[in-house]
Amino acid sequence: MDVLNVIDIKTLEFSFIVILCVTLYAVYTSCTCLYVTCVGILYVCLKFIRHKSAVRIKIKHQGVFITGCDTGIGHDVARRLDSLDFTVFAGCLYPDGEGAKKLKSESSKRLHIVPLDVASDESVLKAHDYVVKHLPKNGLWAIINNAGYNTRGDVECLTIDLYKKIMNVNYFGAIRTIRNFLYLVRRNKGRVVIVTSVRGRYSWPNNSAYHITKHGLETVGDCLRLEMLKFGVKVSLVEPGNFAHATACQSESHYKRYEEEADEMWKIANDDVRKTYTKKYFLYYARRKSSKSGNNATTKPVIDALEDAVVSGLPHTRYLVDGSWFDKDTTLARYYYYLPTWLSDWIITKMTGCDKFPDYSKMKLD
């Protein structure tokens, strides 16, 4: 029998108050062991209270607009929410592509494939008009901002055009979507969910363009959450850890694009950068694949978090989602702000080897 089902919420709240008083007594008497024990019990009580008091909304075919549904997380969450009886508007960059066709064929008739390029004002406006025209009677309940992509390169190597391109999709794309659809969600006191990344918690070498967008979205989400309090709209950030092998991030098309971007960076680089880094350095990071170690092969944990953010009566502000039972990226994220900079820099250096040039002999290069 589930312990949570036999413990009354009032009992939990009373226990919480008692343990809190004991904790304060432990602080007053400087009893470290009692204090640590009480803090642990308080944490468990809070988890139990949230679980017992949380309720799910009643789903009556409300609309949910999702960006980036061609593949990966967006594709999977569209199917999940469709199965829960939401009316899903799945924004796809390639509405006639295999991903969109598969999504349509494996979902209910309520699901709509909506052509969407979040980097285009015109495309977002057309998507908005389509959604408004096909909204169910219960309106739009949630926006899930998921569309995005990655690009690689050191700050000294990346071009300004690549910085602008990724910002236009990952960062401004989310803002375009929010600005155009938020009033519909506000009417229902609904939800805004932004998929950021564990990379929005701290910085990583050779990935500044991507990290800037994710740090920016974290800030947008925090500001928006405070601004929406007066309207009853809840805003959540979902921060996936290492899920590269569960999405399209490891596809050949992605690596082909990385190589094309590496060539673009090499062509525009000055003589000193070329001499210092070499072409092999550019190609190494373009072709380097993520390790399968500590990498979840399914997006289910992220989809579970997204579902909770949409349907829970008490959604979390942040969902930091582990890519495995021990995800080194999310583990570091949990303690990063408590560590001195020299120590966090040392840890990241050891994880990435960024203090030295890579060993090209371990990778076949043209």
Residues forming beta bridges with residue 115, ordered by sequence position = 92
Instruction: Please report the DSSP string for 115-148 in residue order.
Output: E--TT-HHHHHHHHHHHHHH--TT-EEEEEE---
Classify 88 as helix, strand or coil.
strand
Known catalytic membership, residue 335: no
Distance of CA 18 to the CA centre of its chain: 37
Classify 54 as helix, strand or coil.
coil
C-alpha to C-alpha distance for 132 and 187, rounded to whole angstroms: 13
C-alpha to C-alpha distance for 23 and 10, rounded to whole angstroms: 20
Report the phi/psi class of residue 140: left, alpha or beta, with left for phi > 0 and alpha for psi in -120 to 50.
Answer: beta
Instruction: Please report the DSSP string for 144-177 in residue order.
Output: EE-------B-TTTS-HHHHHHHIIIIIHHHHHH
Of the residues 28, 43, 171, 210, only one is catalytic, namely 210
Pairing outcome for strands 112-115 and 87-92: parallel
Cβ-proximal residues to 288 (8 Å cutoff; 6+ apart), any chain: 358, 363
List b or e across 98-126, with b for residues whose CB sees 16 or more CB atoms inside 10 angstroms: ebbeebbeebeeebbbbebbbbeeebbee
Residues forming beta bridges with residue 167, ordered by sequence position = none
Return phi, psi of residue 361, to 5°: -65, -20
CB 144 within 8 A of CB 319: no
C-alpha to C-alpha distance for 152 and 303, rounded to whole angstroms: 26
Report the phi/psi class of residue 183: left, alpha or beta, with left for phi > 0 and alpha for psi in -120 to 50.
Answer: alpha
Catalytic residue positions? Answer: 210
